[in-house]
Structure 1
Amino acid sequence: MAYNTKPIITDKDGNPISQYYNPDADQYEAVEGIAGANKVVVFKSDGTENTGISLLPILDKLSQLTGTVIDEETRKSNELQRIALYEQIQQMLDDGELKGDTGETGKGLEYDWQGTQLGVRVEGDTEYIYVDLRGEKGDKGDKGDPGTIENLDRTHIVNALGYTPIKSVNDVLADESGNVTIETGSDIEIVNNLEEEVAGKALDATQGKILDNKINTKANIEDIPDISTKMDKTGGTFTGEVQHNRNLVIQPKLKDYTEHYESVLTPSNYTIDLSLGNIFYLGVIDDLVIDDIINYKVTNENCHSFTLMIQAVNSVSIIFPSIILWNNGEIPELTSANVVYLLTFIRTDDIPGKWFGMFGGEFNVS
């Protein structure tokens, strides 16, 4: 809409009076008396001019109801407020404070509980706004008489939602640590003051598991370290894989042990993956390129080694990666046919990024 920008005419009390804008004079002029009546002509139904009706009361009332006469200062103030509101909303959209229809932009809401008070804040804000969600009160105080609604807490919300909000989960873990028990009827039941001989019988040496509910009743979770000191594995046979995760095994006595053997036939390119084993056999027909050595674990306390056996049916070319250091820098020529070449490789943390390669010999197997 367009705003009037010329000074308006007011009465002695400063109130706007009925007036109109004269474009020829570029100013407002009062509609009053005979001088003003000729500005607007009213006709009767027969087409003749009606001079007995005054328009002044009607114009005054319209001015009061519509407020179309606006002074320049009011217009400026209204315009500045409109611009400020627009810029505020635009800034909130840019900052992500208001989400769009898709919800992919903007910030979410975060919640917090203090007793029966629910706090809400926009993501990133530091202060929560809390509202107390209370039920009906009875003559016994906030709790209410039996049958009335109790004060709301997070339990009601969890029951209504069907899941526990993440903050509630954290609170439960913090509140209940030290009070966690394994219920009767579960696969493993633990008892306080467990006798050593009972624990020994309950322990299955196959994979270090407690089986068959041999340990009974309940125990506080804090007692488990004490129970573990009473468990003594005196022997047994492992029937499954045991994953040590590269943890230290102290003072083992090994007897009749084997190493895993990885055999690959007719490769042209091959990457040695040490997660598969420590001895590799490659049966080649054509030229072979060993691309890389992967999945090793080397630290200042650990080294890694493996053995490589290569058997070629024909005279071929074998290329090793540049990460291997050879004695005197001489790469062995492995070009004979119908022989088995034996090589050993070691890597330590002392020479980062390099393997030591050692040629063990050529064995005729034809």
Structure 2
Amino acid sequence: MPNVPVTRILDAAANRAAEGLRVVEDYVRFVLDDSHLTQLLKQLRHDLAQTCAALPQADRCTARDTQHDVGTEITTDAESERTDAWDVCLASFERAKQSLRSLEEFSKVTSPEMAGRFETLRYRLYTLEKAIGITHESCSRLSNSNLCVLIDGQATAEEFKQLLKKILNAGVGMIQLRDNKLPDRELLERAHTLVSQSKKRRDSSRPPLPHTLTIINNRPDIAVASHADGVHLGQDDLTAKAARAILGPRKLIGISTHSIEQARRAVLDGANYLGAGPTFPSATKSFDAFPGLDYLRQIATEISLPIFAIGGIQAENLAEVLETGVNRVAVSGAVAKAPDPGEAASKLMEILRNAATR
């Protein structure tokens, strides 16, 4: 015979969990427009429904007593206050997590084998909460970063400073220092210069200009020591988890991806932005394969985390990239090796701005 009070709890918790997941899914689907995360949330809801099906619907409905539920009249002021859609999403995450925990604990009384399934669902939700939260925040933090310029340390510190000045004056949203040849001490000095010059340009402008994000390639230790904004990792570099342990919670982590499977994994691993490519052959870096424009179309359709197309991109082929739906690009030689790096960067940014207003 069913334990009516416990069945009543399980029924209420199952309803709350499903409702909370649906609200989160609506946010991810209609606000973030993220197909990948929407699909994962939909699968989680489906798996929750399958797990709850072990508790007969007839027993749930019989135990339900909404008319005499003392909790329906208990409310707090905070329950009716939501500042924006993201606040709604956060509240629904909390509702779903707490409900899954209640399902897990009380199912131990009537169906112990179900408790482990609810626990697994809860941990999956934690992972999705992390990915969705990072996506929401990263879209905001990188809202002014449509162009990333990759530069090396140059032959001398002065040459580096002069190149940096030209690129910063163009208003580039992100600069990545990528140099595998400089000794560590010199690399750290260049990183300090990058960070200090970016800050100086921002603070000296009236009104203050948007911050140029400073990224160090493959060296989270240098990023921390120089107070850069973050680090960029390749597929063979440190994992995002290892880098995060060094960087702490607030630094940005970018991850290069060459397939949709790598991109999906990077989202769940906690990347703040993705590099996608290589798109075209590059004069500054050799590649074994080119996912090309087809990959850009695929990732733009599926993932809403900030995405930078990479590999051989120049002003002459930028329109082809933008037609895929990817609206951010990372370039190296197109700016750093141009006769006038500042002018080259400005031209690329103008194309990006014009495309955004269409």
More helix by share: 2
More strand by share: 1
Using the size of structure 2 for normalisation, the TM-score is 0.20
Using the size of structure 1 for normalisation, the TM-score is 0.20
- Determine which structure has more spread, i.e. the larger CA radius of gyration: 1
Which structure ranks higher in relative contact order (CA pairs < 8 Å, sequence separation ≥ 6)?
Answer: 2
